[in-house]
Structure 1
């Protein structure tokens, strides 16, 4: 965005107004609709120092604390937009009306800005890309589908259904994780209390022994010293770490790529990411194929909505294979992400000319696999939870009782 200054003549007086626009042409247009009076000239200029500092601050904190759209509000707005588009109301008027009616300030800003962009001559997809964080890649892909097929109402209706399905899965995930999360929080609080208040009581006794303490006891005493002496520093360091981590995740592609690679190696997490990604990919791809979009173009749109960078990179080779004249099933086989059964199904669909219906079956298969993982999540997490609890209990028990046993043996030996 560039900074422009418009000289406005109002009631015989000139005054300057500064604002941002993509180009000088857009700046002239915005100046005419934003300010009352005659626009004498519009010139590009350097932003004021105060404005530069404000934008720098926003750029630093925007990706750390971005405004999340509430799923219910977003889904309701998309459904309303689909109904209004189906009724023949223009997208601009629909966005403006929904923005004025909503009480969600973030949603109001997003929809209002998109309405202004469309009024300035931009397409809906171009404007939506500005809010990729708030809307999500799936929304961007389905909006592009609506523009390519010319049936925006149907694309928005399908998008609302997809987002509703994702929201249901998130709710199921949260419910499955509620019990393990609550247990671990309770254990963490209990462990902190024991370290902060109970262990210091034994510390004086251990110091009187003047003996070599076992490793568990040394660990407990170290944690007690860390918590009671540097507790605030530890909390501060944790907050700084989270801040830096989020900043690097949003500003460094290499860092984000390595983080995504790490997630794909974690127990259980890798399956959730893998099957949710393949489910969304096949879902969007099947919709694009059914709408008559060429395979290479459909792949480009479907792959663009994938969040995990290593998976996105592997799927990009499929588009390259197709563009060189290769078959879709051979390109998918080279990624080693799809099972042999899936490759055979897609190959049969290509041979019979029923790729769209076959891709729908593939999408249903990955949806079933993903749902199964979510449904069994609580049982899968239990072994990890029990292992962590056991480690905490053993550390406390051995750390406190081993020196006591040694002291008891020493006393018995003297007698």
Structure 2
């Protein structure tokens, strides 16, 4: 039974959009009329239409990671209980109350009813189900372990969400604190200090050097601050445009891997993503060569991504995985050692999981330490700035009092 995308007017005169299943567009029209909706447009969702992120604007944005995880785990549970794929999709479809998820499941179920495999049906939504997800499902179907594969994929989605949250916390929190500190300092120098300094304008007295410096800094920010802000904004805009170039982005990512401290974090984060993805694919029956290529696709750093792709070519020529990866010098020695141990013992999947867990824990420890040190350090810096301003303002007052007392 094909699926149809529709738009219709409700009783309030507002346009509603959605997806329904039916034997023909006439049947869909009857369904809409039974719901007291006036059909405006009814279009069958064909494979050609959906080839590029579907033809449906209301599902182009995809679904959240949490919704994808819940949907995947529910599918795994239903299939493990003995339900066929179509029945599992129907059950999950009935349980969800998210319109976008319902639409996706309805289209996928429609494809399955037409005789397509689940992996092929998921190809309708590449923006929702990434290559890793679809390749893993395809391997699970071929091996008859779809429920196991879906459970592992749900775990992976949850792991990815947790790691993404840690990364965002590590980046956003310091940036927000820094922005607030800079904003407070600028307000003090451009608004508060000039009003206080006016007291000294009519005093025929040489001001201390620290006060003169504060006045000069305040005048500079008031006269040229807007130009500095525009220059910074323009630089960020130009940099973002340059990052659209694959060549510049690759060079930038390669440069990041040479920055002390930052390189360690970036390598650890990308290694964890690679190892986790590789372990899921290898454990699902995907061959090592294909698993390496897919795993490279989910890595954020282009330099490390190229290192994995180059290593996969060496593996294709007969090399072992660990020395092929070690040659790039982009991966931590512990990860290389664990992969080598897994290859030797025939337990590569478990060693890859150990490597991913190790890198994730190390990343979490380092970011937690940085976060713990950054806040008090910023407070000390802000305190020093305020102390400097206070001393610069009070010093002339003390000198004036001494002159009056004399």
Task: Provide TM-score, normalisation by structure 1.
Answer: 0.64
CA-to-partner distance for each residue in 1:140-159, whole Å, 9 max, x for gaps?
A: 45334424534222111111
Distance verdict in 2 for CA 1:388–1:340, change over 3 Å:
closer
Cα distance in 2 for residues equivalent to 1:133 and 1:206: 64
How far residue 302 of structure 1 moved from its aligned partner, in angstroms, is 2.4
User: Could you say which structure has the higher helix fraction?
Assistant: 1
Could you tell me which of 358, 364, 380 is aligned with 1:374? 364
Post-superposition offset of 1:322: 1.1
Q: Is the 8 A contact 2:76 2:147 kept in 1?
A: yes
Give the direction of change, closer, same or farther, for the CA distance of 1:327–1:142 in structure 2 (3 Å limit).
Answer: same
| Partner Cα distance (1:196, 1:358) in 2 | 61
Per-residue CA shift, 1:258-303, capped at 9, x if unaligned?
5544654566554444223322322332343344443222222322
1:178-201: CA deviation from partner (whole Å, max 9, x where unpaired): 986886576466446535642342
Task: Give the match's secondary structure for 1:36.
Answer: helix
- Relative to the length of structure 2, the TM-score reads 0.65
Give 2:278's aligned residue.
Answer: 285
Picking from 59, 64, 77, the partner of 1:83 is 77
Contact 1:217/1:398 (8 A) holds in 2: no
Q: Aligned equivalents of 2:103 and 2:262: distance in 1?
A: 34
CA shift digits 1:301-330 (9 cap, x unpaired) = 322332332211111111100111222222
Segments of structure 1 that go 5 or more residues without pairing to the other structure are: 1-29, 38-57
Aligned to 1:311: 304
Q: How does 1:10-409 map to 2 (within 5 A)?
A: 33=23, 35-36=25-26, 67=61, 69-95=63-89, 97-118=91-112, 124-125=118-119, 128=122, 131-135=125-129, 138-169=132-163, 187=181, 190-191=184-185, 194-195=188-189, 197-205=191-199, 214-224=212-222, 252-254=245-247, 256-257=249-250, 260-261=253-254, 264=257, 270-340=263-333, 342-350=335-343, 352=344, 354-355=345-346, 357-399=347-389, 401-402=391-392, 405=395
How many residues are paired up?
351
Q: Distance in 1 between matches of 2:115 and 2:165?
A: 39
Indicate the RMSD between aligned Cα atoms, in angstroms. Answer: 4.7
The unaligned stretches of length 5 or more in structure 2 are: 1-19, 28-52
CA displacement at 1:83 relative to structure 2:
1.8
CA deviation after TM superposition for structure 1 residue 160, in Å: 1.1
Q: Secondary structure at the match of 1:335?
A: coil
* Structure 1: distance between partners of 2:261 and 2:92: 40
CA contact (8 A) 1:289 1:298 kept: yes
**Offset, 1:78:** 0.7
Instruction: Note if contact 1:296-1:319 (Cα within 8 Å) is conserved in structure 2.
Output: yes
Alpha carbons 1:275, 1:366 under 8 Å: kept? no
Change beyond 3 A, Cα 1:375–1:186: same
* Secondary structure of the corresponding residue to residue 148 of structure 2: helix
Task: State how far apart, in whole Å, the 1-side matches of 2:201 and 2:139 are.
Answer: 72
Cα distance in 1 for residues equivalent to 2:129 and 2:200:
58
